[in-house]
Structure 1
Amino acid sequence: MNDSSWGAPQGAGHWVAPEMQGAAAGPAYDVHDAQQTRPMPIVPDVPDAGRDAEDRDHRDQGAGRLSGGPLFRDEKPQEPMPTAPPPPPPPPQKKRAGRDLGAAIGVGLGLGALVVVSLFVVKAVFVGVIVLAVVVGLWELTSRLEERKGIKAPLAPLAVGGAAMVVAGYARGAEGAWVAMALTALAVLVWRMAQPPEDYLRDVTAGIFAAFYVPFLATFVAMLLKADDGPQRVLTFLLLTVVSDTGAYAVGWRFGKHKLAPRISPGKTREGLFGAVAFAMVAGALCMQFLIEDGSWWQGLLLGLAVAASATLGDLGESMIKRDLGIKDMGTLLPGHGGIMDRLDSLLPTAPVVWLLLVLFVGSG
């Protein structure tokens, strides 16, 4: 079947005369057959204009709902809600001390009064104050070692030996202090033998360290007291140490910017160290000139410099111990200060330094 059998018109949209149709189609052409076989014209679907407009309205309304636009044509778009202005930055806060300053001052004044009264009334009473501080310090140190590290340094022989060490130093001087130290170490070794041998070396090593660190160094305070002008020497030792700590705190808190030993004690600064040196040297010159017999102001300058160095090293040393133990304070006995060991940290290593320099400058008395 070819294309002519479909009866396609000669020209789209032109009328053909009947007499011409026969000539064009040939003798076999039949008009009735052509009409029967002519295919139906393909009429494309024309969408209903009204329905299409309605559908578009529905789509527009749906898009308006999704996009937050108006729901109806005559509805005005909502204006965005005004956003609240950002809050103003907080005002800069003033530097604050890390401890209760009022409690610290009150406790410090109370301890100072106790020391002065016992020091200038009867020397033996002040020796008792030293013994009490040593025993409490040993208790704090051994308790923290056991709590944080599981180290069981025997407290009983340490307390008895520490008290004996202080008394021997006051009565017999350095020779008596060394003998008492040796006997205390021996007592620690023997006392620990009553327990299982596990960790024996660790425990006795910690015990001997505690005996040297607390009572042996404190014995030099008793040896300062032994001289004829012993109360003045002890007062000089205490004043210089306290003034050094105060100068370091005051200058460091006000001007401190450069850390002294950030891995050991982040609060200490180089400016604070300069403050400690300056304050201690001035106090040393005054004390040597007016408190110590045959003393001189220039000796006080050297003494103050040495005290500032030893007090700072002692403070850093105990900070190292506390960092190793993971604690901030050795105890809570003294409000605003921590424990007894937190007050003895700079005093203990300073005592032998002051004792030695005073012996060199003015003799043993």
Structure 2
Amino acid sequence: MNDSSWGAPAAGSGLGGPDQGPAPAGPAHDRHTAAQTRPMPIVPDVPAGGFQDGHGRGAAHQGGPLFRDETPHEHPQEPMPSPVPPPPPSAAPAPRQKKSAGRDLGAAIGVGVGLGAVIIASLYIWPPAFVGVVAVAVVVGLWELTSRLQERKGIKAPLVPLAVGGAAMVVAGYVRGPEGAWVAMALTALAVLVWRMTEPPEGYLKDVTAGVFAAFYVPFLATFVVLLLAADDGPSRVLTFLLLTVVSDTGAYAVGWRFGKHKLAPRISPGKTREGLFGAVAFAMAAGALCMQFLIDDGTWWQGLILGLAVAASATLGDLGESMIKRDLGIKDMGTLLPGHGGIMDRLDSLLPTAPVVWLLLALFVGTG
């Protein structure tokens, strides 16, 4: 065992201190030394330049006290361990990004205002012009729908009989009423069946099925808009129908964008929320009460509440229905004709199923005259 582990004095120094010289040798000294010797714990060798305590004994204080009862303040000259630096502060969380509408709102507003001006002008200046606007929208919507079906699914719904029959359906509804619309619908379906016979039979069933579906979905439902126009206060009825649908969509967007947390139908349309649906209902009911009270002849505010509730429900279902179609096709929009909106069908999605609902309720409340 090394003597240094016991704190033995170095050569040239004594127990009495460095100025007393070497310790005397002899038996007396040995007995004196033995008497003072007691067992001590084994400690490491004192490193070169180690600490010398007050009695000249070398002590190895590398990271803490040598004995258990030693504390750092007993040896003020002992260097204290360097404090452990605190961990660096975690990176500041990224600022929360504002919600985005996902579209060019400026272009969407501009297009919406332009379409609204055309509709209002045609309604109140010369109502037959509005019928032409509806017919054009129907033909473009059919073109978008059949094009996407062929591109994404290989379904060839014949566009020519659909376009001709769809425009005729709208005109017949305005001129001849519901009976004219039903007859035109039946003739359009028959034309689709016959037209598709000019091509090979492979895929005939799916093509004509898609064609009949397109004829019902776009022009037949749009016919109820011109049926509203045929009444004595037709322009006001059409304006009520359009206002309630737009207000419902706007309320759903505004409330859902600000407060939406609970998904309404995540598998169909992840952006729609239950809070947005409540916003659509509240906005549409308020607008319905005002429209029925001030725009519709013989209408009352409580009828507007019912009408607004029905419009909010049908507009939401119509939007979800087209979202289901687009999800099945694997597309975001039906077209790109309207900047900020997508295609014509992306604007007709909530209007088409709402038109028959509004026509029916107004017929029940105030009649069809």
Q: Give runs of aligned pairs for residues 56-75 of structure 1, distance below 5 A.
A: none
Instruction: Confirm whether residue 298 of structure 1 aligns to residue 306 of structure 2.
Output: no
Q: Which residue of 1 aligns with 2:114?
A: 110
Find the aligned partners of 1:166 and 1:94 in 2 and give their Cα distance: 44
Q: Which amino acid aligns with 2:189?
A: A
Question: Which of 182, 187, 203 is residue 183 of structure 1 equivalent to?
Answer: 187
Instruction: Confirm whether residue 278 of structure 1 aligns to residue 319 of structure 2.
Output: no
Q: Give runs of aligned pairs for residues 323-338 of structure 1, distance below 5 A.
A: 323-338=327-342
Question: Which of 140, 143, 147 is residue 139 of structure 1 equivalent to?
Answer: 143
What is the CA distance between 1:91 and its match in structure 2?
1.1
Q: Which residue of 2 aligns with 1:128?
A: 132
RMSD after superposition: 1.1
Cα deviation code 1:7-35 (max 9, x no counterpart)? xxxxxxxxxxxxxxxxxxxxxxxxxxxxx
Equivalenced residues, count: 283
Cα deviation code 1:199-231 (max 9, x no counterpart)? 000000000000000000000001000001000
Q: Which of the pair has more CA radius of gyration?
A: 1
Question: Which of 187, 193, 196 is residue 197 of structure 2 equivalent to?
Answer: 193
Q: Which residue of 2 aligns with 1:242?
A: 246
Q: Which amino acid aligns with 2:157?
A: A
Find the aligned partners of 1:84 and 1:183 in 2 and give their Cα distance: 77
Q: Which residue of 2 aligns with 1:313?
A: 317
Find the aligned partners of 1:154 and 1:113 in 2 and give their Cα distance: 33
Percent identity reads: 86
Q: Give runs of aligned pairs for residues 18-29 of structure 1, distance below 5 A.
A: none
Q: Which runs of 5+ in 1 are unaligned?
A: 1-82
* TM-score between both structures, scaled by the size of structure 1: 0.76
Find the aligned partners of 2:172 and 2:100 in 1 and give their Cα distance: 44
Q: Which amino acid aligns with 1:169?
A: G
Find the aligned partners of 1:292 and 1:93 in 2 and give their Cα distance: 45
Instruction: Confirm whether residue 170 of structure 1 aligns to residue 138 of structure 2.
Output: no
Q: Which residue of 1 aligns with 2:351?
A: 347
Find the aligned partners of 2:88 and 2:345 in 1 and give their Cα distance: 54
SS of residue in 2 equivalent to 1:194: coil
Find the aligned partners of 1:347 and 1:170 in 2 and give their Cα distance: 18
Q: Which residue of 2 aligns with 1:362?
A: 366
Instruction: Confirm whether residue 264 of structure 1 aligns to residue 271 of structure 2.
Output: no
Find the aligned partners of 1:319 and 1:302 in 2 and give their Cα distance: 26
SS of residue in 2 equivalent to 1:267: strand
Q: Which residue of 2 aligns with 1:223?
A: 227
Q: Runs of at least 4 residues of structure 1 off by over 4 A?
A: 83-87
Q: Which amino acid aligns with 2:241?
A: F
What is the CA distance between 1:89 and its match in structure 2?
3.0
What is the CA distance between 1:90 and its match in structure 2?
1.9
Q: Which amino acid aligns with 1:327?
A: I
What is the CA distance between 1:239 and its match in structure 2?
0.1
Q: Which amino acid aligns with 1:151?
A: I
Find the aligned partners of 2:88 and 2:211 in 1 and give their Cα distance: 65
Q: Which amino acid aligns with 2:250?
A: T
Looking at secondary structure, tell me which structure has more helix per residue: 1
Q: Which amino acid aligns with 2:232?
A: D
Find the aligned partners of 1:91 and 1:305 in 2 and give their Cα distance: 39
Find the aligned partners of 1:188 and 1:92 in 2 and give their Cα distance: 53
Question: Which of 145, 157, 164 is residue 160 of structure 1 equivalent to?
Answer: 164
Q: Give runs of aligned pairs for residues 195-214 of structure 1, distance below 5 A.
A: 195-214=199-218
Q: Which amino acid aligns with 1:197?
A: P
Q: Which amino acid aligns with 1:165?
A: M
Q: Which residue of 2 aligns with 1:119?
A: 123
What is the CA distance between 1:98 and its match in structure 2?
1.2
Cα deviation code 1:267-309 (max 9, x no counterpart)? 0000000000000000000000000000000000000000000
Q: Which amino acid aligns with 2:178?
A: A
Q: Which residue of 2 aligns with 1:97?
A: 101
SS of residue in 2 equivalent to 1:189: helix
SS of residue in 2 equivalent to 1:99: coil
Question: Which of 233, 237, 240 is residue 233 of structure 1 equivalent to?
Answer: 237
Instruction: Confirm whether residue 148 of structure 1 aligns to residue 152 of structure 2.
Output: yes
What is the CA distance between 1:84 and its match in structure 2?
9.2
Q: Which amino acid aligns with 2:212?
A: I
Find the aligned partners of 2:265 and 2:150 in 1 and give their Cα distance: 27
What is the CA distance between 1:87 and its match in structure 2?
4.8
Q: Which residue of 2 aligns with 1:17?
A: none
SS of residue in 1 equivalent to 2:120: helix
SS of residue in 2 equivalent to 1:268: strand
Q: Which amino acid aligns with 2:263?
A: K
Find the aligned partners of 2:243 and 2:179 in 1 and give their Cα distance: 27
Cα deviation code 1:302-354 (max 9, x no counterpart)? 00000000000000000000000000000000010000000000000000000
